[in-house]
A and B are shown apart, each in its own frame.
Chain A
């Protein structure tokens, strides 16, 4: 320990007298960090900034449905997009989708994390089991639910029929995915199901960072369980809660496979969110789809900025 301290002291010594360094060495010193940062910067430029540029560019171009550039489109892609009759419904649905899925996921995960933080026999197995919905492909999970909801022979319908809640197979009431409202509810259920593992683990990690002494002290002071949860657990869980919340908002907003596999956004666009609608548009209108992509991008940025502002992210997470 002492050795290291001395060594670093020695190496730092010349840095205190920069004036005496030759110019070349100074330049090299200034450039050296780039060697370390370079790959990361290059990655960000190629993987993040370039696609963003292409997206913006595409949204102002006129493309044929086969991907040929026919010339600039000005703002026509955007005016066409705003003239789409289904757009307002799709935006509303997107808000409902994100708020309900993320909200319910966070609530259930809080309870689950608390449960998994207790000692009980079989906890290890239970924790592993919780990973299953996360480990399974989302497409697979969605397909399984789609089949389970089949109006004629889906296992969920068979069960509901057996207990007398559904009178006959193939009827409108058994056709969960055919009616936009009930289809949306079922897709929300699936989205919550696949979001739970990550959220629960994020919160569980947070719970485990809370020092046991605080609970002991509270117990000595005679605080009730509820009081302990409100005054110790929740405030100290805030950083991991916020991280989980933010990642979920972005994930759920961008979620595509669940809706695509279960209803393809149909009938019409009546179960589509903006992400799914983007894909529906792409079939025939690439530029318009890119315009919606730009808007989605803007929405995510705005949501994230507002979120960071409201939660005073810096103080909470980096402190």
Chain B
């Protein structure tokens, strides 16, 4: 019997080896982009969807198909990567020199520094270029030249669950850190989570910056020098540690990611959480909270609500792959920057547009209006090339400040920032 089994195993292994070979064969027979004037462009984009039914793959494939209909000799292949893996997969791609033609998602200033990208001006028509939202131009600029092009934007606000607030007997939305502390404690007594604090690797750099801003801190000081280990930042982390220790947040925030906590908020399990418009579709698809059960207000600061917030934009960057593709890429960019597609994207994912004309078209919208007003006042991440390394370190280590000395954690990050790229 033993030998029977072995024979079976060998057969199975032979089969799977053959299958692997066959698959490998398929992969390598991918047609090049050269022959007969046919051009293939590779688009890599982040997936903003919450599941297969609203995957960004669909959005981009729709654009790619429409574009191909107009330009039969240009084919755009679309690959989307979910946000959790986006940074690490793109980095691996670039480290292995497998550049996409067009990348949409996080912007990496060091790629501009390395000379990998086309300047935005060279790859778009003047009309498209001048239509890009100017607020984010500085963020996308390296050495005086703009490389990144904003594609979609969002501003952060504080979301709270009105139902839970009512049950806990809280009448006003939170405005200060003290409010957050007392409100969270009251909600905790209902058996729910008071405040959702996502300090896991997914987007810890955003959550911590919102707290730093609340104390007058930030990653850089007014003159643009790194100030990561400044006193206000340390104080902010200490305050957050206090919340965690009191059990007003989820346990072990350093291991909890934004996406998971947003889903819990949508299920009515969390009293307050910092969010962006992207949280709205998650709430809607959760089917637990109706639109009157939640609201969003400006981010709470130490002494009062913030008059500025974190403005985040996701960008398009274009890699210098094959010079013969340049004209085709320009055509494609001009095509997908049409208002129609900007608005389609924002309605699908409740994000904000990144072009002047699309903003105008949406300015009277009741959902988007407040966020659009916050955009011009927004604070942004650094555009220095070393930000890539700093961001990675914040994502990996800032959660440990909840159990260790915050000053030491911030000192280590500051050291990385000052060492430079």
Contact = CB atoms under 8 A, between A and B. Distances in A.
B399 A268 contact: yes
Contact of B114 (A66, A85, A127): A66
B255 A266 contact: yes
Given A175-B251, A267-B252, A66 B108 contact: yes
B94 interface: yes
Contacts of A269: 396-397
B397 A268 contact: yes
Given A65-B91, A67-B96, A268 B269 contact: no
A171 interface: yes
Contacts of A267: 200, 252, 254-255, 399-400, 402-403
Given A66-B111, A67-B95, A168-B191, A264 B389 contact: no
B158 interface: no
Contacts of A85: 412
A67 B97 contact: yes
A311 interface: no
B131 interface: no
B95 A175 contact: no
Contact of A284 (B97, B114, B392, B400): B392
Interface residues of B, number: 40
Interface SS of A by simple majority: loop
A151 to B, nearest CB: 7
B256 A264 contact: no
Given A66-B116, A171-B251, A269-B396, A264 B95 contact: no
Contacts of A124: 1, 5
A77 interface: no
Interface SS of B by simple majority: helix
A183 B252 CA distance: 12
Contacts of B276: none
Interface in A79-130: 85, 124, 127
Interface in B378-416: 388-389, 392-393, 396-397, 399-400, 402-403, 412
B421 interface: yes
Interface in A130-182: 151-152, 168, 170-172, 175, 177-179
Interface in B247-276: 247, 250-252, 254-256, 264, 269
Contacts, number: 88
A283 B201 CA distance: 12
Interface in A176-212: 177-179, 183, 208
Nearest to B202: A264
A124 to B, nearest CB: 7
Contacts of A168: 191
Interface string A266-282: 11111000000000100
A270 to B, nearest CB: 7
B250 A170 contact: yes
Contacts of A64: 110, 114, 421
Q: What is the interface residue range for chain A against chain B?
A: 20 to 34
Contact of A266 (B5, B201, B269): B201
A178 B400 CA distance: 11
B95 A286 contact: yes
Contacts of A284: 388-389, 392-393
A280 B94 CA distance: 16
A268 B254 contact: yes
B191 A264 contact: no
A269 B398 CA distance: 11
A184 B201 CA distance: 18
Nearest to B412: A85
A66 B392 CA distance: 13
Contact of A172 (B251, B399, B400): B251
Nearest to B115: A68
A200 to B, nearest CB: 14
A268 B96 contact: no
Contacts of B252: 172, 175, 178-179, 267
A281 to B, nearest CB: 10
B399 A266 contact: yes
Contacts of A208: 2
B206 to A, nearest CB: 17
Interface in B84-127: 87-88, 91, 94-97, 108, 110-111, 114, 116
Interface of A: 64-68, 85, 124, 127, 151-152, 168, 170-172, 175, 177-179, 183, 208, 263-264, 266-270, 280, 283-286
16 contacts: A65-B110, A66-B108, A68-B114, A124-B5, A151-B251, A172-B247, A178-B251, A178-B254, A178-B256, A266-B254, A266-B255, A266-B396, A268-B254, A269-B397, A284-B389, A284-B392
Question: Shortest 10 CB-CB distances between A and B: which pairs?
Answer: A178-B252, A267-B254, A67-B95, A268-B400, A172-B251, A284-B389, A178-B255, A175-B251, A284-B392, A267-B399
Given A183-B255, A266-B254, A270-B400, 17 more contacts: A65-B91, A65-B389, A65-B421, A66-B91, A66-B95, A66-B108, A66-B114, A68-B114, A124-B5, A170-B193, A170-B269, A208-B2, A267-B200, A267-B400, A269-B396, A283-B87, A284-B392
